[in-house]
Structure 1
């Protein structure tokens, strides 16, 4: 959870001028807009429907809709993951601000210059990790997840694994199937960037 001055999950990945936002958790839009305008985001991938990973999709879409940006933003997510965040505004207000692309885990797709492969990972709600490949470089991102062979598959031979880690060391037993720690993520792959959320 984001404390004052911090933000939740949100990572801007750029390749050949194309900007893909991986997750849009609480408080990421102000930080994002310090770097690029809302119109300069080319696509968004949302790993799952918990607000610390998707709540700021609403203000990003509002900025585009109210700023007169005419091209709809491609948004990739699992079925139903965005229902709550898209219902925050009056019906129809954001309809022209985005185009929804349903993720089918295990099926490859193209997102701009990236070849994307997703895997369903264990969490309390459906969560899709993603493996992005461009110019023979690979970035893997987990979103929130517990340990799984699918995480290992995403991370295999990746240049960078961006692994969400709710805990630094040990995950309490009731959550151990659905969340990870930095210690667990660090055993998966080098180099690793484990982020606490």
Structure 2
């Protein structure tokens, strides 16, 4: 399994960093995970739009799904449109994004598959297990399994005993880490710190930790060092074009 970071900025994109977006590849299948703000230009550095085989969205905040709109426009409005793109998301999560254009304009460009966090299903070669994790809106923690490894992804979440269960034994644990040491009180039930991401990675016995969704301007080195206080294995920060592979 191969993961390419398209972006990892929390809340809004910066001049150098798109929001959450990850291309996960296995056995020739390309799964786009969370096409947040400004991820489409990053995707186009690697592939054409018709190379994406499916999209999987953790939740409906625009920093995780807004660039689904230009992706569907680029596919559906081309001279030779590719087949409809399978799109998987929690029920209702994409209503706002899919309503940006006039009704029916992009209807032939996608096939929407809604799910309830907690369900299991398949996407191409991936077995997908989901868990409802705490956030401001319904958020699906995602576990992707293939013969080539396991990737666990929190989406955006606050503290939960389900997180180390989601990431148990994962080859790669992609965890939100909006703050380094402390989340402001109002947001504390809904977001994580890099420290807590490190704790959960250690509890899960994950092989590798990838911190993402850092608040814009956060020092990546400081976030890595905070997680390393609790997790003694490999730690990276999700920066554009970083490629991580798991055992095949």
Of the three residues 10, 19, 23, the one matched with 1:8 is 19
**Structure 2 residues without counterparts, runs of 5 or longer:** 1-11, 216-248
Per the TM alignment, residue 169 of structure 1 is displaced from its structure 2 partner at its CA by: 2.0
Q: For 2:62 and 2:165, locate their aligned partners in 1 and report how far apart those are by CA, in whole Å.
A: 26
Instruction: Verify: 1:102 aligned to 2:119, yes or no.
Output: no
Matched, 1:170 2:202: no
C-alpha RMSD of the superposition: 1.1
Give the structure with higher Rg (CA): 2
Residue 48 of structure 2: aligned partner: 37
| Rounded Cα–Cα distance in structure 2 between residues aligned with 1:137 and 1:129 | 17
**Deviation at residue 172 of structure 1 after TM alignment:** 1.0
Which ranges of 4 or more aligned residues in structure 1 deviate by more than 4 Å?
none
- 2:145 aligns to what SS in structure 1? strand
CA distance in 2 between partners of 1:150 and 1:69 (Å): 41
Query: Is 1:79 aligned with 2:91?
Result: yes
Tell me whether 183-192 or 82-91 shows the greater mean CA deviation.
183-192
One of 130, 140, 143 as aligned partner of 2:142: 130
1:47 counterpart = 2:58: yes
CA distance in structure 1 between the partners assigned to 2:99 and 2:73 by the alignment: 12
What's the TM-score once normalised by structure 1's chain length? 0.97
Q: Give the one of 31, 34, 43 matched to 1:23.
A: 34
Q: Does 1:193 align with 2:210?
A: yes
Deviations 1:95-141 (A, max 9, x none): 11010111232221110000000111100000011100001510001
How many positions carry a matched residue from both structures?
A: 197
Higher relative contact order (CA 8 A, sep 6+): 2
CA distance in 2, matches of 1:80, 1:106: 15
TM-score, normalising length: structure 2: 0.77
**1:44-81 Cα shifts (integer Å, max 9, x gaps):** 01111111001000000001101232310000001110
